Amino acid sequence: MPIYLDNNATTKPLAAGIEAMIPLLAQEYANPSSLHRPGRAARERVERAREQVAGLIGARPKEIVFTSGGTESINLAIRGIFGGGNRRQELIISAVEHSAVRRLADRLEAEGCQVVRIGVDASGLLDLDNLDSKITDSTSLISIMHANNETGVIFDVEAVCEIAQRHSVPVHLDAVQSAGKLPLDVRSLPVNLMSISGHKMHGPKGVGALFIRRRTRLRPLMVGGGQERGLRPGTENVPAIVGFGVAADQASRLADAQGASIRKLRDEFERIVTSLIPIAHVIGEPASRLPNTSNIGFAGLQSEIIVQLLSERGVYASAGAACGSGSLEPSHVLQAMAIEPAIAHGAVRFSLSRFTTDKEIHDTVEILNAVITRLRAMAPTARRF
Ligand code: PLP
């Protein structure tokens, strides 16, 4: 049986979510805006899912807008603020954001906005003093991630919100990787906007949500019908929204207990790997990290080859360096952390889920050890580390 350790890319959809979706795809296909009985039933399903998603983050259902996923939520949040005739036109992000934020920031910059990128230290943590000093009267929004998709490093969002509030600047939190893995409560965390995604928490793909705190003014990306209070017009994807609701509901109930058992497995994995393989370096330590994420740099080796050999043996992980124009470039995240190039080039991300078993972790360690031993025998540079 293959071992799936790429849960930060996407997760296995819950059986209960799929079961709830099938009748909505096959028979109960009415438009939730229709006034007839099946239309009203579809509306009820959407509103129930809205309550479930709101419940996951302590929001009011009215503060949730369904979108097509994390990327759209992020675009709606950031463009929604910048496209709204706001006179202050500066965006602050971190240097390690997901490309949904990074590329949008690049685009806004090309359109004339100021973008400030705040660096991180060697363990991936945000330079908070620098953030504080970069806020000006022109700052319209701070958009930062909660947990990094590559390293799992968790930002101190409470501290970011405290700084932002002192300067009266709104905060958008990219919680795509943390929602369902860490407790999140917008009643105590004063973010104005928060993006989450269904497929990262055992829901279906192509559905996400944006939390919009009451009184936050946003301009929609699209014009059309009045769905989602006009903020996301277009007929709702009822089956996906319902599957997302089921996943959010399970995550609300299970997150704490499962987080602890996933962390135990992850810690065990890192302990054995680093003791067996001398060239293995855990990236992101000693920062606090998502319980499911382990990014390990195998010094002197190339991550794409490791991932390929693991895949041939039925272990699915992800490379921290991508091949662009013929050369392996470490990701912008590892570069921002100034990880030694020899380690960054060999970075592999293993991301666990609530379905990962003890046996899978021990089998992975064995297969990984064999792969690395083989590659080290072939790569003379790796022997030096
Ligand atoms: N933000 C982060 C931190 C992510 O990890 C991802 C997906 O990998 C996204 C945003 C984009 O989410 P989606 O795939 O739902 O568009």
pLDDT in the model for residue 322: 56
pLDDT tens digits, one per residue of 87-117: 558 999 999 999 999 999 999 999 999 999 9
Q: Find the helix packing angle between 238-276 and 358-378, rounded to 10°.
A: 60
pLDDT tens digits, one per residue of 249-258: 999 987 777 7
* Strand pairing category for 327-330 and 315-316: unpaired
160: enclosing H helix or E strand: helix 157-166
59 Cβ partners below 8 Å, 6+ apart? 53, 186, 211
- Among 100, 102, 106, 108, which residue's Cα sits nearest to residue 79? 108
> Which one of 154, 177, 332 would you pick to mutate in the ligand 1 pocket, going by the greatest count of ligand atoms within 8 A of its CB?
177
Nearest CA to ligand 1 atom 14: 70
pLDDT in the model for residue 259: 87
Which residue is catalytic, options 323, 338, 370, 377?
323
User: Ligand 1: does its nearest atom lie under 6 Å from the Cβ of 100?
Assistant: yes
Burial, 251: exposed, middle or buried (Cβ in 10 Å; 0-12, 13-18, 19+)? buried
**Are 230 and 47 contacting, i.e. CB atoms less than 8 angstroms apart?**
no
Q: Is-catalytic flag, 113?
A: no
> Which one of 149, 197, 290, 292 would you pick to mutate in the ligand 1 pocket, going by the greatest count of ligand atoms within 8 A of its CB?
197
If you measure from the C-alpha of residue 176 to the centroid of ligand 1, how many angstroms do you get, rounded to a whole number? Answer: 6
Burial profile 148-186: b = 16 or more Cβ within 10 angstroms, e = fewer: bbbbbbbbebeebbebbeeeebbbbbbbbbbbbbbebeb
The pair of structure tokens assigned to 65 is: 């807008």
Q: 103-111: long-range contacts (C-beta < 8 A, 24 or more apart)?
A: 104/74, 104/75, 104/78, 104/79, 105/78, 105/143, 108/78, 108/82
If you measure from the C-alpha of residue 382 to the centroid of ligand 1, how many angstroms do you get, rounded to a whole number? Answer: 33
Q: How many CA atoms lie within 13 A of 3 on its CB side?
A: 24
The pair of structure tokens assigned to 66 is: 């369904």
**Are 60 and 47 contacting, i.e. CB atoms less than 8 angstroms apart?**
no
pLDDT in the model for residue 326: 52
pTM: 0.96
**Are 94 and 156 contacting, i.e. CB atoms less than 8 angstroms apart?**
no
If you measure from the C-alpha of residue 367 to the centroid of ligand 1, how many angstroms do you get, rounded to a whole number? Answer: 29
Which atom of ligand 1 is nearest to 145's Cα?
A: 3
328: enclosing H helix or E strand: strand 327-330
For the chain, list residues with pLDDT below 50.
324-325
Q: How far is CA 317 from the centre of its chain?
A: 16
* Strand pairing category for 293-298 and 280-283: antiparallel
If you measure from the C-alpha of residue 44 to the centroid of ligand 1, how many angstroms do you get, rounded to a whole number? Answer: 28
User: Ligand 1: does its nearest atom lie under 6 Å from the Cβ of 71?
Assistant: yes
